[in-house]
């Protein structure tokens, strides 16, 4: 299984809502004492849980071009769509909730749109709820904003799930 954890590269995006996928990848790498290597304009790591081997990938292509990295790894490992999983943020899901699907649409998410354009829509995905803006903040600005103090307090527990 290959987990593609979506986000944007660069320090300015490190703790933003849009990078919750990257945060999940970093958690797994730390938990299983692995480290990232570079391939196909991505950071990737092999994780051995003692029972299974997984790969975790952080595309460095920026969110809107994530499909390029997914397609490159899929072809390199000769992997079927059902053997990969995309982890992404979702502003239509309350903060702290997860939605897991075996296939589906992009739901307005540009990273998922990019993946679907490259490999089709028949792949598992985990959508991590980041909530929606309470005021009139433009969505693009909201997803690129940092979590608030209350969210940061429970973020480690959310990511661990």
pLDDT at 136: 82
pLDDT at 129: 97
Superfamily of domain 2-160 in the CATH hierarchy: Peptidyl-tRNA hydrolase (3.40.50.1470)
pLDDT digits (tens, 9 = 90+) for 99-152: 999 999 999 999 999 999 999 999 999 999 999 988 888 999 999 999 999 999
> What CA–CA distance (Å, rounded) separates 63 from 41?
13
Out of 18, 78, 109, 161, pick the active-site residue: 18
pLDDT digits (tens, 9 = 90+) for 41-95: 999 999 999 999 999 999 999 999 999 999 999 999 999 999 999 999 999 999 9
Answer yes or no: 18 catalytic: yes
3: CB partners within 8 A, 6+ apart? 25, 28, 54, 55, 56, 57, 84, 85, 86, 87
- Do 95 and 151 touch, CB atoms closer than 8 A? yes
- Residue bearing tokens 């290959």: 2
The dihedrals phi and psi of 137, each to the nearest 5 degrees, come to -65, 130
């Amino acid at each position: 299984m290959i987990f593609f954890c979506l986000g944007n590269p660069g320090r300015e995006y490190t703790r933003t809502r849009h990078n919750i996928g990257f945060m999940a990848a970093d958690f797994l790498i730390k938990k299983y004492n692995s480290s990232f290597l570079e391939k196909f304009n991505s950071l990737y790591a092999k994780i051995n849980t003692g029972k299974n081997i997984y790969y975790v990938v952080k595309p460095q292509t920026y969110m809107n071009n994530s499909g390029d990295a997914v397609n490159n790894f899929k072809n390199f490992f000769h992997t079927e769509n059902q053997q990969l999983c995309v982890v992404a943020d979702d502003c239509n899901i309350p903060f702290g909730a997860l939605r897991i699907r075996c296939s589906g649409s992009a739901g307005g998410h540009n990273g998922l749109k990019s993946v679907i354009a490259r490999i089709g829509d028949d792949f598992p995905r985990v959508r991590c709820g980041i909530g929606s803006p309470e005021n009139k903040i433009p969505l693009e600005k909201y997803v690129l904003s940092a979590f608030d103090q209350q969210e940061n307090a429970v973020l480690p527990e959310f990511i661990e799930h």
